[in-house]
Amino acid sequence: MFTWWGRAVVRFRWLVLVAGLLVMVAGGSWGLGVFDRLSSGGFEDPTSEASRTRAAIEATFGDQSVDFLLLYSRPDATVDQPALRDPVVAATARLRAQPQVDQVVSYYDAPPGSPATAQLAPLASQDRHATYVTVRLRVADEDGKSAAYAEVRDIAEAGGGVETTAGGVVAFQKQVTERTIDDLFRAEIFSLPVLLLLLLLIFGGLVAASTPLLIGGLAVLGSFVTIRLLTAVIDISIFSINVITLIGMGMAIDYALFMVSRFREEMDAGRDVADAVARTVATAGRTIMVSGLTIALALASLLIFPQPFLKSMGLGGMSAVLVAMLGALTVLPALLAVLGPKINALRAPTPWRRRLTVDRPVTSGVWARIAHSVMRRPALYAIGVTAVLLALAIPVFRMSWGGFDERIMPVGTEARVASERIKAEFPGGSTDPIVAFVAGAQPAELSGYVSALRALPQVTGAQVTQTTEQATLVSVSYAGEPTSVRAQELVDEVRAVDAPAGAKVLVGGRTANDVDLLDSLRVHLPWMAALMAAATLVLLFLAFGSILLPIKAVLMNLISIGASFGVIVWGFQDGHLADLLGFTATGTIEPTNPIIMLAVLFGLATDYEVFLLSRVREEWDATGDNTAAVARGLQHTGRIITAAALLLILVVAGFAGGSITMIKMVGVGMIVAILVDATLVRIILVPATMRLLGRWNWWAPGPMSRFYDRFGIRESDGEREPAPADPELARV
């Protein structure tokens, strides 16, 4: 099939190239409009108690949310003096006149001495030099709120020497979105020139070096088109853009590196252009398909979670890897068919090109010697590397989960400044209380319920804030951060308080959302893991006809990912990397980040496994010698895997250097995982375990073996010419 596909691409090469160009044009024009359609929320499970609490409150009392707040301060005036009061009153009057604004609550809304003054007193700072105003917008959806906030933000400036700082949910989300987009373009500007330089050194020629970037651009722009189409039916997170760029560019570079290297190898073997393309697609193309499908299925595991954020990350990643795979199987072979020997044009005059070039097909060399060294002492190497990886993974056992807040942005960011000042300078110190919606309670029972809430440890106050004949809203304040572990425990304690007789209680709020998110992840995570493992086992069996190799691949993936997570806990939760990377450690890990990393890293680890084992299987089919097959396979792919890892690390480094802690953490975790996987695992642990297993590497029960013979995704079509004898490869 793949030989036929390669010849079909050669025949219709110009049509394929025009189609690829049209996709890139569409992505660069219409597709870029996706940035205006992305969401910064989507972290809630719509069926959770916190979500049901919010829905009940809105149905009974109307929208009670505070979309954003404005902190006004002046060090030389107090809230009671005209120098601070008059500009704030004028600013709030302008806000109330805007059609986008539904409600504005200010310290100055009640005359001095009136009963309402006490309720508004927390809006003035303890030193009386600052006050904040809460604003609720009329629109309900997140995109509409973001647009409305942008329209009224400048109107809210007080002027007259009064400093104005915007904070709250919508302001925070808007600022995160802007910084994410800025970080994305900064990463691309940094990485693309360096990528081209490294590709030039690796391939030794400008034409060959340009092909991975071309396929990478196709993958990213094509994914933008796909994601914009998806925004018509589902909310897509702004953070998915980072995943699209990272995976799309990274996988495209990997696939192009593998495909171009094999094409040049086939051309050097004396094949004409058409045969070289067909042979390349039949071998490297099949490997790329197996890799792409495996990574896509690993990312598809994110779709089982009910949170729109995780779903959108899965869809974005799947789109990127599938477009990269299709581009590598269509546009790239068509381009190779057009270029032919010109793929080697514009050679770089570097004296070390021979040493760096990845596609020199030799039967012995440094990688083969490494394989021999490992396979002479396989047990020693396997135990040693496993011990190192398990040691790196030890911190995982003390991973502590917590939500994220304004501290994911750099110090001095506007929304963060507003949040920190309110917590430090104002009575109560928080705008995120735990809320209890009580339906059907009598006054006497309700009073006892509120008293029980006040008696809980860490609770600083509990009071009725809204009431009707059918329902009551109780606000529970507490000390500390709403994202802390202690705040999460307090949510459980509030929910454990007995409801008033005959009443029904729902508990919600920001911290309750975090608690429900964790509960949802715990329920769905085993299913995600099962789906990833099953997809990997099935695809690797179809690719290599072995039962043991897929199982070993899953186990090694988990060990290498565990090592990466251990570094994340040490560096981000414990804060050991805070000064170096410029972020604020919170003592917890936001739980959706490791979930995303698990899906991405599992797919990437399998990618390198497929690259190596595909060539080993090809050599095994040709020689029947397990030791020689492993050595030859590593010799052919060791340089490619190392080069691919180096280039992917460069792509990821742009994200690790971003300004948002969540993205920074994913970048660092991926760098660690790629380093571990491309060195300790693929170069040492895989050869060691394959030497220990011997012929059992390729064993499968009779019925499964016959199934593979008939339906397997083989690495080569027909019989491969026997490899020349190499005495060095026969010795272990």
The pLDDT tens digits of the residues spanning 670-682 come to: 899 989 988 888 8
CB atoms closer than 10 angstroms to residue 497: 17
411-514 maps to CATH 3.30.470.20: no
Asked if the model's pLDDT at residue 572 lies above 60, the reply is yes
Asked if the model's pLDDT at residue 528 lies above 70, the reply is yes
User: What does the alpha-carbon distance between residue 705 and residue 711 come to, in Å, rounded to a whole number?
Assistant: 10
User: What does the alpha-carbon distance between residue 340 and residue 263 come to, in Å, rounded to a whole number?
Assistant: 9
User: What does the alpha-carbon distance between residue 124 and residue 81 come to, in Å, rounded to a whole number?
Assistant: 13
Three-state SS sequence of 200-239: HHHHCEHHHHHHHHHHHHHHHHHHHHHHHHHCCCCCCECC
CATH 3.30.70.100 residue ranges in the chain? 411-514
- The average pLDDT across 146-160 equals 91
Q: Is 133 helix (H, G, I), strand (E, B) or coil?
A: strand
User: What does the alpha-carbon distance between residue 156 and residue 148 come to, in Å, rounded to a whole number?
Assistant: 12
The pLDDT tens digits of the residues spanning 16-50 come to: 999 999 999 998 889 888 877 777 667 778 889 99
Question: φ and ψ at 164, to 5 degrees?
Answer: -115, 125
- Provide the residue type at 384 as one letter: G
Asked if the model's pLDDT at residue 716 lies above 80, the reply is no
| Mean pLDDT of all residues belonging to the chain | 85
Q: What would the CATH number be for the domain defined by 67-167? A: 3.30.70.1430
* Helices of type H across 569-591: 578-581
The pLDDT tens digits of the residues spanning 422-431 come to: 888 887 656 6
Asked if the model's pLDDT at residue 668 lies above 60, the reply is yes
The pLDDT tens digits of the residues spanning 242-256 come to: 788 888 888 888 899
Give the model's pLDDT for residue 244: 87
User: What does the alpha-carbon distance between residue 478 and residue 494 come to, in Å, rounded to a whole number?
Assistant: 12
Asked if the model's pLDDT at residue 724 lies above 50, the reply is no
Give the model's pLDDT for residue 116: 57
User: What does the alpha-carbon distance between residue 478 and residue 486 come to, in Å, rounded to a whole number?
Assistant: 10
The residue with greater pLDDT, 240 or 74, is: 74
Q: Is 103 helix (H, G, I), strand (E, B) or coil?
A: strand
Contact 254, 648 (CB under 8 A): yes
CATH 3.30.70.1430 residue ranges in the chain? 67-167
Give the model's pLDDT for residue 165: 95
Closest by CA to 341, choosing from 283, 440, 396, 264, is: 264
Asked if the model's pLDDT at residue 119 lies above 70, the reply is no
Asked if the model's pLDDT at residue 585 lies above 70, the reply is yes
Give the contacts of 161 (CB within 8 A, at least 6 positions apart). 74, 76, 83, 87
User: What does the alpha-carbon distance between residue 51 and residue 513 come to, in Å, rounded to a whole number?
Assistant: 8
Closest by CA to 247, choosing from 290, 214, 292, 286, is: 292
Give the model's pLDDT for residue 120: 74
User: Can you read off the two tokens belonging to residue 323?
Assistant: 């477009």
Give the model's pLDDT for residue 358: 46
**Would you put residue 456 in left (φ > 0), alpha (ψ -120 to 50) or beta?**
beta
Confidence of residue 113 (pLDDT cuts 50, 70, 90): low
697-710 b/e (C-beta count within 10 Å ≥ 16 → b):
bbebeeeebeebee
Confidence of residue 71 (pLDDT cuts 50, 70, 90): very high
Give the model's pLDDT for residue 364: 58
Least confidently predicted of 177-186, 211-220, 298-307, 321-330 = 177-186
Note if the pTM is more than 0.75.
Answer: yes
The pLDDT tens digits of the residues spanning 342-386 come to: 888 777 665 544 433 444 444 557 888 888 899 999 999 999 999
User: Can you read off the two tokens belonging to residue 716?
Assistant: 């080569």
Give the model's pLDDT for residue 386: 93
Angle at 289 between CA 288 and CA 294, to 5 degrees: 100
User: What does the alpha-carbon distance between residue 365 and residue 634 come to, in Å, rounded to a whole number?
Assistant: 10
Class level of CATH domain 2-41+174-400+515-718: mainly alpha
Give the model's pLDDT for residue 442: 83
Confidence of residue 121 (pLDDT cuts 50, 70, 90): confident
**In the chain, pLDDT over 90 holds for what percent of residues?**
36
- The average pLDDT across 407-432 equals 84
The residue with greater pLDDT, 721 or 245, is: 245
- The average pLDDT across 590-600 equals 87
Contact 728, 368 (CB under 8 A): yes
The pLDDT tens digits of the residues spanning 496-519 come to: 999 998 899 999 988 899 899 889
Are β-strands 459-467 and 163-167 bridged in parallel, bridged antiparallel, or unpaired?
unpaired
Contact 248, 295 (CB under 8 A): no
User: What does the alpha-carbon distance between residue 184 and residue 177 come to, in Å, rounded to a whole number?
Assistant: 11
CATH 1.20.1640.10 residue ranges in the chain? 2-41+174-400+515-718
